[in-house]
A and B are shown apart, each in its own frame.
Chain A
Amino acid sequence: MSDDHVYMTLAEGHEDDTRWAYGTGFEDPLQGVDTDVPDGVDAQELAALCVTLADDALVSAQRLAEWTTRAPELEEEVALANIGLDLLGQARLLYSRAGQVDGTGRGEDAYAYFRDAGEFRNVRLAELPNGDFAFSIVRLLVFSSWRLAHFERLAAHRDPVLAAIAAKGVKELAYHRQYAAEWAVRLGDGTEESHRRTRRALEQVAPYLGELFTAYDVRDEVVAVLSQVTEAAGLPMPVYRPLPGSGRAGEHTEHLAPLLAELQGVARAHPEATW
């Protein structure tokens, strides 16, 4: 027992452990989970799916974290940071699963820190800059509704690990969607200014909706949620305008590379470091 230094107190009882408090150097978040891939599941396809889902979550988490110290109120800052934390947790589990099944044995950090923008498979909606609070709320509403609908289906995936990650994520995403939907209604049905900005945000996300609905059969569910919210908020439904290219093919906006530069800078400058 020592209270000489605050770090010593945190490290107490972990003398043989390189990790103290909440730093890096954690073990695999899927430690002790049965890692077998069931018969009939294509390991490469499963790994690719896990990476796309993880990329969506990681890039969104980074954007949400950017609100820290900048949100309109402390409560909203805490909310956005917490939502980002849930998504970061989902990303960690999914990257770990991808590394287990794709044959490379890569850990989560290899995916998060040591791939360039062209290797990321996230939808472009996730990487767009935060804009104002209205844009971030509308983007979160679309993203969480879409991811929730997708995860509900993935909870029945033949890979039990992905199914379990998805089933857990459903509870979290439903909570995120609830938060975003309530704010969207409050802003749309609020002042002239908040209405105008929320309406503009819906127009801004519209070109990125098409990309969400290409690969998965979740469109009806998401559109139903957006109709419900826009109707309650007195807002028009966004007009669907498809945009060429696809983040799923590694074709990104100019906004992803700077986001990754910030996210990956420290890990790349000190690739062996743990703290």
Chain B
Amino acid sequence: MVTTLLDARRARRIAEQVPDPELPMLTLADLGVLREVSMDPDGTVVASLTPTYSGCPAMAEMRAGVAARLKDAGYPRVEIRTVLDPPWTSDWITPEGRRKLAEHGIAPPGAAPARAAGPVPLVLSPIRRSVTCPRCGSADTEETSRFAATSCKALWRCLACREPFEYVKEI
């Protein structure tokens, strides 16, 4: 039993270190998509992943990455489960993940919008977000595009240092 617990903990540490295929400076644990790692009595490692966006093309790569790392580390039986509920939120990006994003020139997300009961309201007046430039730290920034190279990011630019940068959207 003790061995199993230690083994499960080791398996979790290994799975946690798998890099995200599209944001390779982050591990799957940093991104908050690795929800759980446990070990069945028969020694099967069960890792649960949650997709960031429904269409995230990196999901298959994440599953394959976790399975491959665990197999390489001596766990022959690996099962990857997909967890859809509760849906991923950018709030699950860890403080360490946020630090790494900023270090790599990507502005981390703010707090995800709170969902009240009832229909999602449509707000047409400009929404003020305070996004800090990850390069120079200025708050004088503006959005240039709501969408970017991956589903989870938007494009911004800094009006102080003039550098464009990516910003992880809060959802």
Contact = CB atoms under 8 A, between A and B. Distances in A.
Given A32-B79, A148-B120, A85 B57 contact: yes
B69 to A, nearest CB: 9
B55 A87 contact: yes
Contacts of A182: 124
Interface in A63-103: 75, 78-79, 81-83, 85-90, 92-93
A113 interface: no
Nearest to B58: A22
Interface string A213-241: 00000000100010011001000000000
A13 B68 contact: yes
B124 A228 contact: yes
Given A89-B53, A164-B84, A165-B84, A171 B171 contact: yes
B146 A79 contact: yes
A172 B54 contact: yes
Question: Which size bracket describes the interface of A in this complex?
Answer: 35 or more
Contacts of A177: 122
Question: Which size bracket describes the interface of B in this complex?
Answer: 35 or more
A219 B55 CA distance: 27
Contacts of A31: 63, 80-82
Contacts of A13: 68
A40 B147 CA distance: 41
Given A32-B80, A177-B122, A179-B146, A86 B60 contact: no
Interface string A167-189: 11111101101110110010000
Interface in A139-161: 145, 148-149, 152, 160-161
Interface string B132-163: 00000000000011111101000100000000
Contact of B87 (A17, A167, A174, A225): A167
B106 interface: no
A78 B124 contact: no
A202 to B, nearest CB: 17
Contacts of A161: 84
B20 to A, nearest CB: 14
Contacts of B56: 89
Contact of B57 (A22, A165, A172, A228): A22
Contacts of A232: 124
B63 A225 contact: no
Contacts of A30: 82
A50 B82 CA distance: 19
A149 B87 contact: no
Interface of B: 48, 51, 53-57, 59-61, 63-64, 68, 79-88, 119-120, 122-124, 144-149, 151, 155, 169, 171
